[in-house]
């Protein structure tokens, strides 16, 4: 029978590895000849001729959005999450905060006034939001995925320019 761990006790890392090593900064691995995101490090990505097979480092824009989402999750969402879960209440306050930070437009194309984030950037932001309130991140997921689909759909709809401007 598998061991059931008490809440808060993490499972051991693969092959006894630690999730942090000297020189790691906030989940990023940065060593000479090896620049991989945490995902590449945990999955055992290898380096060929001193260059990584994949560069999993977030872009500067992604890092900025990650930091904003992390701050929002820790400073605002986390304090309310237990109450929302206990009361089975929709996190309206979290959505007000998402709107104030511009995150409700995260996946809305820039030409329509949004941030124009791609799927990868959305995932990185959502991961941070889930640290504060997983329920908020789940509903945010539905919103963002709809927005990712609607941009191309709207672009392919036949309509006069004036009508497109209004909508």
Are 103 and 24 part of one and the same domain?
no
pLDDT bin (cut points 50, 70, 90) of residue 60 is: very high
Are 110 and 137 part of one and the same domain?
yes
Q: Which domain holds residue 64?
A: 60-156
Residue 126 structure tokens = 């959502």
Percent of the chain exceeding pLDDT 90 equals 47
Are 104 and 146 part of one and the same domain?
yes
* Span 102-146, pLDDT tens digits: 999 999 888 888 999 999 999 999 999 999 999 999 999 999 988
Are 118 and 137 part of one and the same domain?
yes
Percent of the chain exceeding pLDDT 70 equals 67
0.85 surpassed by pTM:
no
Mean pLDDT to the nearest integer, 75-91: 95
Return the higher-pLDDT residue of 133 and 150: 133
Give the integer Cα–Cα distance in Å for 150 and 27.
33
Give the integer Cα–Cα distance in Å for 148 and 117.
9
Q: What is the DSSP letter of 46?
A: -
State yes or no: pLDDT of 58 exceeds 80.
yes
Give the integer Cα–Cα distance in Å for 92 and 83.
12
pLDDT bin (cut points 50, 70, 90) of residue 42 is: low
Question: Considering its fold, how many domains does the chain have in total?
Answer: 2
Are 72 and 16 part of one and the same domain?
no
Give the integer Cα–Cα distance in Å for 86 and 84.
6
State yes or no: pLDDT of 162 exceeds 70.
yes
CA dihedral defined by 64, 70, 75, 76, rounded to 10 degrees? 100
pLDDT bin (cut points 50, 70, 90) of residue 77 is: very high
Give the integer Cα–Cα distance in Å for 87 and 17.
39
């Amino acid at each position: 029978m598998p061991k059931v761990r008490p809440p808060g006790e993490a499972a051991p890392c693969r092959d006894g590895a630690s999730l942090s090593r000297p020189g790691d900064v906030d989940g990023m691995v940065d060593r000479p000849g090896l620049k991989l995101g945490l995902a590449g490090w945990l999955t055992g990505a290898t380096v060929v001729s001193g260059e990584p097979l994949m560069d999993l480092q977030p872009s500067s824009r992604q890092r900025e959005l990650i930091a904003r989402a992390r701050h929002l999750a820790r400073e605002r969402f986390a304090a309310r999450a237990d109450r929302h879960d206990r009361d089975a209440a929709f996190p309206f306050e979290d959505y007000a905060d998402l709107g104030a930070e511009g995150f409700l437009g995260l996946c809305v194309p820039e030409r329509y006034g949004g941030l124009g984030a791609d799927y990868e950037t959305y995932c990185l932001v959502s991961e941070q939001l889930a640290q504060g309130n997983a329920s908020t991140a789940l509903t945010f997921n539905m919103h963002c995925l709809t927005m990712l689909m609607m941009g191309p759909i709207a672009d392919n709809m036949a309509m006069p320019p004036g009508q497109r401007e209004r909508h």
